[in-house]
Chains A and B, each alone.
Chain A
Amino acid sequence: MATADESRQTIGDRLADRREQLDLTRVGLYAALITLVGFYLSPLWAGLTTAFKTQAGFVNTTPLEPPTPEWFTIAPWADAFSVMQGGLINSITFVLPATVLSALLGSLAAYGLTKLSWRGQVGVLVLFLAGVFLPYQSVLVPLRQFWSAVDLAGWLAFAPFLANRADLIELTITHTAYGIPICTILFRSYYKAMDDDMIEAAKIDGASAFGIYKRIVFPLSLPMFAVTLIYQFTQVWNDLLFALVLVTSRSNYVVTLSLNELQGAMAQEYNLQMAGAFIAAFPTIIVYVIFGRQFAKGIAGGT
């Protein structure tokens, strides 16, 4: 009996030990997670507090300190917005078509590469793949030379409204072309998993290749469209490099260029720059909220 009691005790002790251990790992885990969250959020937080402080407040307090009523202001937001207004509108006018076009063309190309059979597919696919790995920097000079040679503004001289925005049209076309490879690859993997029997059934039902795309493949790839739209929108919206080399007239400045303008030549107005950065980032957040659910579906590969 004594031995039984003893063993029971030891089991109880062991259980208690284990509970203690478990709690410790839990505590450690949460501590680590909270530290990481704090680490990643701190720049955002600092930016946000800075944007609500006066210049004097920024100089006299640490960035992580929330603005006290003494230093609180919303003037930087108003100022930044008035400078960036034009840029925001310009960005929206070229980013939306560039995003939609690259997703649509990428989807069409991927359909052609997976569900239709023709000679030389592999070669074309290799070109698309190569396109994905082409760095922006490597094409800057030829790109500038190309658009100088083409003289789009000259071509559009008959319509002054378009001619004045030739820079934006160039950006649209460039970003569309640059976005097609990655969109194609994304759609390709999605379409490869799509049921071939279904495509063949549609064929036997009398649908043409484009009819099958329009009525079967396109409606079934909406989750993937959400993925590519979010991805492309963010990419194109945040791009500064192409805009720097392609946009020549100040009236065509896009949001990244006007954000760059907030950087004063003499004094750095950090509150203004921070407010500008948040304004510039805002549309991408909106897009993510709108398409977020579809995005998750597309990433998970559900149809």
Chain B
Amino acid sequence: MTELTLENVTKRFDDDGDVIVAVDDVSVEIDDGEFLVLVGPSGCGKSTTLRMIAGLETVSDGQIVIGDEVVNDVPAQRRDIAMVFQSYALYPHMTVRENMRFGLEESTNLTDKEMDSRVEKTATTLEIDELLERKPGELSGGQQQRVALGRAIVRDPSVFLMDEPLSNLDAKLRSGMRTELQRLQEQLDVTTVYVTHDQTEAMTMGDRIAILNDGELQQVATPLECYHRPNNVFVAGFIGEPSMNFFEVTLSDGQLVGDDVTFEYPLSASIRETLDSRSKLVLGIRPEDLEIVDRAETDHDFPAVINVIEPMGNENNLLVDFLETEGETTFNVIVDGMRHLTAGGRYAVRFPESAIHLFDRETGTALHNRQVENEPELLGPRA
């Protein structure tokens, strides 16, 4: 049973006298067998966090606990972890078999026979048993990726660390490996920390997602919770593709009034109560929650024109603009793929009140999130 806990972990780099805080007071508890995805834009400190867990970077402040041992001062060699690198980092002069055996030879007392049987078993699981006597230079990118994975799995570590392991694969292979990795992780039931900048990977793979920005932890929650109940504007905008639409609005007389747009949106009393008497707000709504109707009927409908239609097959991606306004206010709407709409046509766009998010404009904190009907699904099986 291996839990991995980060307690107030901070990493400071000294850059010619300037102190740069790469990771700022991050605390996460990762359960035994859990798949946690660390996600964020590049330079947010996610890789540094992973490297601290691996023992490749020192921890400036706070503690990293694996099982029940504080590992801050334990060298990487003795942490019983395995890591998959973005570059795969295979040993080019060794065959696949030797690559996979290396860790066993260095960190266990197994006999040659036991090592070989473990290597072969893992290779069979990963379908690379045909490649055992080849060298990395003779393998394709996807095969190298599998070998890198095999090298980690064969050691049967207590924690897996993965640093953007799929980002060097082409798109098709990547989505295949995504499911396979998930299946493997479930089968092995090893605590895993997976770093990526790709929110799709985060959404599809993780039991929980930890979102980092500027070295600070924004939210740790299940993918659906991050999606439907974001802590702040950053999480709301980062998770989801295309991302959430944001409008700067001010609350006056029970109505949200657009700052740049002619937009008056009556707000029900129950939502107004959650706003903590803030009036400078950001209204957020996901593209798929917006509806296109023929003409404005309710006071939550606004006349709009469709600028661009991107047919994706299963859905149509629309770029929409309010009609009675000036300047750039384009936003995204997603509608069913079979729905017939004309670009340049005049319609109305409906903002259902149940789907809107409201954020404090100054701090970015979420004040009101959308209604969710299926609460248990949102919190996931581990809640």
Contacts and interface: CB of A to CB of B under 8 A. Distances in A.
A binds B: yes
Interface of A: 195, 197-198, 200-208, 211, 215-216, 219-220, 303
B155 interface: yes
B265 interface: no
A201 B85 contact: yes
Contacts of A201: 83, 85, 89-91, 151
A276 B54 CA distance: 62
Nearest to B155: A205
For the complex, would chain A's binding face be called helix, strand, loop or mixed by DSSP majority? Answer: helix
Contact of B91 (A200, A203, A206, A216): A216
Interface stretch (B102-110, B311-319, B359-367): B102-110
Nearest to A218: B93
Contact of B89 (A195, A206, A208, A211): A195
B106 A207 contact: yes
B93 A207 contact: no
Contacts of A215: 102
Nearest to A200: B56
Interface of B: 54-56, 75-79, 81-83, 85-87, 89-93, 102-103, 106-107, 151, 155
Given A207-B102, A215-B102, A202 B54 contact: no
A119 to B, nearest CB: 13
29 contacts: A195-B87, A195-B89, A197-B85, A197-B86, A198-B92, A200-B54, A200-B56, A200-B76, A201-B83, A201-B89, A201-B151, A202-B91, A202-B106, A203-B75, A203-B76, A203-B77, A204-B76, A204-B81, A204-B82, A204-B103, A205-B102, A205-B151, A205-B155, A206-B103, A207-B102, A208-B77, A215-B102, A216-B91, A219-B93
A205 B106 contact: yes
A205 B85 contact: no
B110 to A, nearest CB: 12
Nearest to B77: A206
A219 B98 CA distance: 14
B107 A205 contact: yes
A206 B90 CA distance: 15
Contact of A197 (B55, B76, B87): B87
A244 B90 CA distance: 50
Contacts of B82: 204-205
Given A198-B92, A204-B76, A205-B82, 19 more contacts: A195-B87, A198-B91, A200-B89, A201-B85, A201-B89, A201-B91, A203-B56, A203-B76, A204-B55, A204-B83, A205-B106, A206-B78, A206-B107, A207-B77, A207-B102, A208-B77, A208-B106, A220-B92, A220-B93
A210 to B, nearest CB: 12
A198 B89 contact: yes
Contacts of B92: 198, 220, 303
A127 B80 CA distance: 39
Nearest to B51: A200
A207 B106 CA distance: 5
Contacts of A202: 91, 102, 106
Contacts of B77: 203-204, 206-208
Contacts of B54: 200, 204
Most chain A CB atoms below 10 A, which of B83, B91, B151 = B91
A198 B90 contact: yes
B89 A197 contact: yes
A195 B89 CA distance: 7
A211 B75 CA distance: 15
B146 to A, nearest CB: 15
Given A204-B81, A204-B82, A211 B87 contact: no
Contacts of A204: 54-56, 76-77, 79, 81-83, 103
A195 B85 CA distance: 12
A12 B40 CA distance: 66
A195 B86 CA distance: 12
Contacts of B56: 200, 203-204
Contacts of A195: 87, 89
Given A197-B85, A200-B56, A205 B90 contact: no
Contacts of B155: 205
B34 to A, nearest CB: 20
A212 to B, nearest CB: 9
Interface centre among B56, B77, B90, B155 (most CB of A within 10 A): B77
- Looking at B86, B102, B107, the one whose CB has the most chain A CB atoms below 10 A away is B102
Contacts of A220: 92-93
A200 B106 CA distance: 14
B266 to A, nearest CB: 57
A154 B89 CA distance: 52
A205 B103 contact: yes
A211 B103 CA distance: 11
A142 B284 CA distance: 80
Contacts of A200: 54, 56, 76, 83, 85, 89
A205 B104 CA distance: 8
Nearest to A222: B93
A195 B107 CA distance: 22
